[in-house]
Amino acid sequence: MPTPDRTSLPAIVAAGLHVLETNGLSAVTMAAVAARVGVRPPSLYKRVRNRDALIRLIAESVAADLGESLEAADPGGPGTPGADPHVRLSSIVRELRSFACERPAAYRLIFTPLGTGDEVSPEVLESASVPLFDIVATLVDPDRVLLAARTLTAWATGFIAMETSGAFRLGGDVDAAFEYGIESISAALTRPSSA
């Protein structure tokens, strides 16, 4: 009679996420995750090929969580016709910041190329981006949606990276600066293209 499984893939990913958020990416080892789920490290290999595959699974889990958070923060989501796209955009960008400040290691993992051959699935990243693309598509011409979404994401990610690393050292109100950035980018997105 085969021995019963003592853990599951979702439990392994959850344990890896806990280690990541508690101790950082370098602490996510097969041994640390095995200890967290209460098994010996070789038991993990029944479910996960290696550490690189585990990191990818964790990153995909975080991306899915982020996509759900952004969708929930959108005041103009499905079933809410006519919502102001600028208000919608502000809401989800604020949620992006909130998510990143609450879960900085997990957030950084989404935007870190893994370079291991076990990259995050493009489908997972695309799914997580749906709320942003949906709103941006209401603000710009169809041929500028990707450009606008990338610009907004780059600004927000840069701001968040500076904030979470303590790089804003000149004083002033960081929250006000973030709101100014949202307003400025939102307004810039709707300006007619000079091209």
**Which residues have a Cβ under 8 Å from the Cβ of 159 and sit 6 or more positions away?**
97, 177, 178, 181
pLDDT for the residue numbered 113:
78
pLDDT at 76: 82
Q: Would residue 171 be called left, alpha or beta, if left means φ above 0 and alpha means ψ between -120 and 50 degrees?
A: left
**Per-domain residue ranges for the chain?**
1-48, 60-189
| pLDDT value of position 156 | 95
DSSP string, 144-168: GHHHHHHHHHHHHHHHHHHHHTT--
* Angle of CA points 194, 142, 137, to nearest 5°: 105
Single-letter amino acid, residue 171 = G
Which secondary structure element, helix H or strand E, spans residue 7, and what is its range? none
Dist CA 99 CA 86 (whole Å): 20
Structure letter (DSSP) for residue 114 = -
CATH architecture of 1-48: Orthogonal Bundle (1.10)
Q: What is the pLDDT of residue 4?
A: 44
**Can you give the pLDDT at residue 190?**
81
Q: For domain 60-189, give its CATH number from 1.10.357.10, 3.90.1420.10, 3.40.50.970, 3.40.228.10.
A: 1.10.357.10
Mean pLDDT by 10 residues, the chain (195 residues): 64 96 94 94 89 93 94 79 85 95 92 76 88 91 92 94 91 94 90 60
